[in-house]
Chain A
Amino acid sequence: MLDWAAEQIVLYWDIFKYLIPAVPWTVLITITSFSLALVLGMIIGILRISKIPAIARLAGLYINVIRGVPLLVQIFFIYFGLGGLLNLDRFTAGVLAVGICYSAYLAEIFRSGINAIAHGQYEAALSLGMTRFQTLRYVIIPQSWRIVIPPIANQFIASLKDSSLVSIIGMRELTRAGREYYSQYFVDFQTWLMVGLIYLVMTITLTKAVKYLEQFYAVKGFGTQK
């Protein structure tokens, strides 16, 4: 019994050591793709509420198309479809696919965050001579930001988990490393348990970090104050 336990501990430690070098890639894919998603999502979200109907509709189309197609299919499309034409490497293709996919969800979050701000805020800013852009920049978005932090954080955590899909095109991140270990040593239970645990530690850490972020942005009597 003691031998078995010792053996197991050694095995888990071995798996852990094998997987850890792949973790920075998972983190890198997540952060890069989510940064792209934030920028794209913010732009699309603002275009979605444009006063020009054609622009608003185009942004709506983008959101519906992207949200209506599975991320895995988007990864295949970008890596094998566009990748062939544009000569994209695995990392770039994976980051593009996850980033574009999440930008559609973030655009909807930004849009609802902007719409949640009372109309009087626009009127006050406009009546002070601010342009529509300045109003968004200094009055609306800083308030929306506090409203959208929790749902955006959820998306960030979801994108960390979805980064595992990029393993399918051969990008060596945490899930891919797990598959490699398994195909070398055929220990499925221990390998996937360890992969799952490492993801879990990362998502729990992020959840805690988000709590701090919310408190950092809290304003007395307003928004996400606890």
Chain B
Amino acid sequence: MFISIRNLVCRFGNVAAVDDISLEIEKGEVVVIIGPSGSGKSTLLRCLNALEDFDSGQIIIDDIVVDKNLKRIHDLRLEVGMVFQQFNLFPHLTVLDNIMLAQKVVRKRSSKEAAEKGRRLLDSVGLIDKVDSYPAELSGGQKQRVAIARALAMDPKIMLFDEVTSALDPEMIGEVLEVMKKLASEGKTMLIVSHKMSFAREVADRMIFMENGKIVEDGPPSQILDNPTRRRTRDFLGNVN
């Protein structure tokens, strides 16, 4: 299995944000995670690239056992790219430098190589004319597309998307989702926390509904969205739509 999570528990104080979750994900799968806020979706995602320490259980990603070993955490993060709700672009660097930085210092690529890759990716997200702009000069949708390009520049095998459209104005959401759809169609393994149900229906191979740190329902989008077996899932979808 490409991603294997077994009995994962992650606590904040007395609250188990992730409460005994087991999950297996295959290479190339696109999984959309939904659920009310505070249900542990983001925490689960953040455990997968060791941004959050977990208390017990086991995560194995592409044969790397996730634990507190710094070398393994480093190897893991090379395989797992992440895009955040708040973009987190580096404001002191131009768009191109944002994408080049980790390529140079982490992947040890030459400036020329990193710049070529950066331009290619910016072109693919439709922002080639923004190479020399600073993040503050971009719209939210543009920032998020740069953030996606920045993560992709490291050639991750898995991409995590943590509510990447939640901080965007409605008219900018489409452009970001388009980029993600393209990625999904290229066969990238993706875990997406999102509230965009129509988008989920379109890209997801599989959907997971979480509540109180547990997986309540897990199945193809047609099942989760149209015929949820659990009452709680039905209520949630009723409220969202």
Contact = CB atoms under 8 A, between A and B. Distances in A.
A126 to B, nearest CB: 7
Contact of B77 (A129, A139, A146): A129
B137 A220 contact: yes
B89 interface: yes
A127 B92 contact: no
B177 interface: no
B154 interface: yes
A165 B150 CA distance: 52
A143 to B, nearest CB: 5
A222 B91 contact: yes
Contacts of B135: 221
A6 interface: no
Interface in A9-35: none
A128 interface: yes
A8 interface: no
Given A120-B86, A127-B51, A128-B151, A219 B106 contact: no
Given A120-B86, A123-B88, A129 B154 contact: yes
Contacts of A143: 90-92
B78 interface: yes
B84 A129 contact: no
B106 A221 contact: no
Interface in B116-144: 134-137
Contact of A130 (B84, B92, B105): B105
B77 A219 contact: no
Nearest to B89: A124
Nearest to B107: A129
Interface string A150-188: 000000000000000000000000000000000000000
Contact of B134 (A123, A131, A139, A220): A220
B88 A124 contact: yes
A139 B90 contact: yes
A221 B134 contact: yes
A126 B51 contact: yes
A121 B88 contact: yes
27 contacts: A120-B88, A123-B51, A124-B84, A124-B89, A125-B90, A127-B49, A127-B80, A127-B81, A127-B82, A128-B150, A128-B151, A129-B78, A129-B154, A131-B70, A134-B105, A134-B106, A138-B101, A138-B105, A139-B90, A219-B91, A219-B136, A220-B136, A221-B91, A221-B134, A221-B135, A221-B136, A223-B92
User: Which are the 3 A-B pairs with shortest beta-carbon distances?
Assistant: A221-B136, A124-B88, A128-B102
Given A129-B154, A219-B136, 7 more contacts: A123-B82, A131-B70, A142-B92, A219-B134, A222-B92, A223-B91, A223-B92
